[in-house]
Chain A
Amino acid sequence: MVVKIEHKWGMVVDLDKCTGCQGCVVACQAENNLPINTKDLFMQKRAFEWIRIERYWEGDFPNVKARYLPVMCQHCGNAPCEPVCPVYATYHNDQGLNVQVYNRCVGTRYCINNCTYQVRFFNFWEPTWPERLQNQLNPDVTVRTRGITEKCTFCVQRIRRAEITVERRERTKLNDKTMAARNFMPACVQACPTNALMFGDQNNKEDKIHGYFEELHGHDGHSDSRGYRILEEIGTDPSVIYLKKVDQFKMEHSESHG
Chain B
Amino acid sequence: MAELKTLNHHYKDMWVFPDAEDLAGLPAKATSLGKTRLLLWVTLILTVLGVVGFVMRASADGLSNYEPWGYYMAAFSFVFMVTAPAPLVSVAFRLIRSHWRRPLTRIAEIFALVGIVNFVLYIPLMLMIPEIANPNEIGHHSLDIRRTLWIQVPWGAPHFWETAAMFSLPLMSCLILLLSSTPDMSASIQYVTGAKKKLYIFLAGYWKGSKRQWLVMQAAIGALGGLYFLTLPFVQFLISTDLGMSLIAGWKDSIFPAIYTLMGFQTSLAAILIVLYVFRKWGGYERFIGASPFWSASKILLGLSLLWIYHMFAFFITFWYGRMEVEQNILNYLFVDSWFWIFILNALGSWLIPFGILVWNPVRRADWGAPLAGVFVLFGALMFNVRTFVGAFNAGREQIYDISITVVPPAVAPDIWDLFMLIGVIGLAGLVYLIGLKIFPVMNIWEIKEGAMYQKMGRLFRGNYLVLAKPE
Nearest residue (CB) in A for B404 is A233
Q: Which of B141, B323, B403, B404 contacts A78 (CB 8 A)?
A: B323
- For residue B324, CB closer than 8 A to chain A, the reply is yes
Distance A236 CA – B404 CA, assembled complex (angstroms)? 15
Q: Is the CB of A233 within 8 A of B321?
A: no
Distance A236 CA – B324 CA, assembled complex (angstroms)? 7
Q: Is the CB of B321 within 8 A of A234?
A: no
Nearest residue (CB) in A for B250 is A233
Nearest residue (CB) in A for B403 is A233
With both chains docked as a complex, state the minimum distance between the C-beta of B403 and any C-beta of chain A, in angstroms: 6
With both chains docked as a complex, state the minimum distance between the C-beta of B250 and any C-beta of chain A, in angstroms: 10
- For residue A235, CB closer than 8 A to chain B, the reply is yes
| Secondary structure call for the A interface | loop
Q: Categorize the interface residue count of chain B.
A: under 10
Q: Mark B449-466, 1 if CB is under 8 A from A, else 0.
A: 000000000000000000
- For residue B34, CB closer than 8 A to chain A, the reply is no
- For residue B325, CB closer than 8 A to chain A, the reply is yes
Distance A234 CA – B326 CA, assembled complex (angstroms)? 7
Q: Is the CB of B325 within 8 A of A235?
A: yes
> Using Cβ atoms and an 8 Å threshold, which residues of chain B touch A96?
none
> Which A residues between 220 and 250 are near B, CB-CB below 8 angstroms?
233-236
Q: Mark A79-106, 1 if CB is under 8 A from B, else 0.
A: 0100100000000000000000000000
> Using Cβ atoms and an 8 Å threshold, which residues of chain B touch A235?
323-326
Distance A78 CA – B324 CA, assembled complex (angstroms)? 8
Q: Tally of A-B residue pairs with Cβ under 8 A?
A: 17
Distance A152 CA – B92 CA, assembled complex (angstroms)? 58
Q: Which of B321, B325, B326, B404 contacts A83 (CB 8 A)?
A: B321
Q: Of A80, A234, A235, which is in contact with the most chain B CB atoms at under 10 Å from its CB?
A: A235
> Using Cβ atoms and an 8 Å threshold, which residues of chain B touch A236?
324
Distance A80 CA – B327 CA, assembled complex (angstroms)? 14
> Using Cβ atoms and an 8 Å threshold, which residues of chain A touch B321?
83
Distance A128 CA – B87 CA, assembled complex (angstroms)? 70
> Which B residues between 298 and 337 are near A, CB-CB below 8 angstroms?
321-326
Distance A236 CA – B322 CA, assembled complex (angstroms)? 9
Nearest residue (CB) in B for A234 is B324
> Using Cβ atoms and an 8 Å threshold, which residues of chain B touch A233?
141, 326, 403-404
Q: Is the CB of A80 within 8 A of B403?
A: no
> Which A residues between 46 and 92 are near B, CB-CB below 8 angstroms?
78, 80, 83
With both chains docked as a complex, state the minimum distance between the C-beta of B450 and any C-beta of chain A, in angstroms: 57
> Which A residues between 37 and 51 are near B, CB-CB below 8 angstroms?
none
With both chains docked as a complex, state the minimum distance between the C-beta of A257 and any C-beta of chain B, in angstroms: 16
Nearest residue (CB) in A for B328 is A235
Distance A80 CA – B324 CA, assembled complex (angstroms)? 9
With both chains docked as a complex, state the minimum distance between the C-beta of A4 and any C-beta of chain B, in angstroms: 28
With both chains docked as a complex, state the minimum distance between the C-beta of A223 and any C-beta of chain B, in angstroms: 12
Distance A78 CA – B404 CA, assembled complex (angstroms)? 18
Q: Of B141, B322, B326, B403, which is in contact with the most chain A CB atoms at under 10 Å from its CB?
A: B322
Distance A235 CA – B325 CA, assembled complex (angstroms)? 6
Distance A235 CA – B323 CA, assembled complex (angstroms)? 8
Distance A78 CA – B321 CA, assembled complex (angstroms)? 11
Distance A61 CA – B151 CA, assembled complex (angstroms)? 35
> Using Cβ atoms and an 8 Å threshold, which residues of chain B touch A78?
322-324
Q: Mark A10-32, 1 if CB is under 8 A from B, else 0.
A: 00000000000000000000000
Nearest residue (CB) in A for B406 is A220
> Using Cβ atoms and an 8 Å threshold, which residues of chain B touch A83?
321-322
> Which B residues between 228 and 255 are near A, CB-CB below 8 angstroms?
none
Nearest residue (CB) in A for B141 is A233
- Known contacts A233-B403, A236-B324; 4 additional CB pairs below 8 A are A78-B322, A78-B324, A235-B324, A235-B325
17 CB < 8 A contacts A-B: A78-B322, A78-B323, A78-B324, A80-B322, A83-B321, A83-B322, A233-B141, A233-B326, A233-B403, A233-B404, A234-B324, A234-B326, A235-B323, A235-B324, A235-B325, A235-B326, A236-B324
Q: What are the nearest 5 A-B pairs in CB distance? A: A235-B325, A235-B324, A78-B323, A80-B322, A234-B324
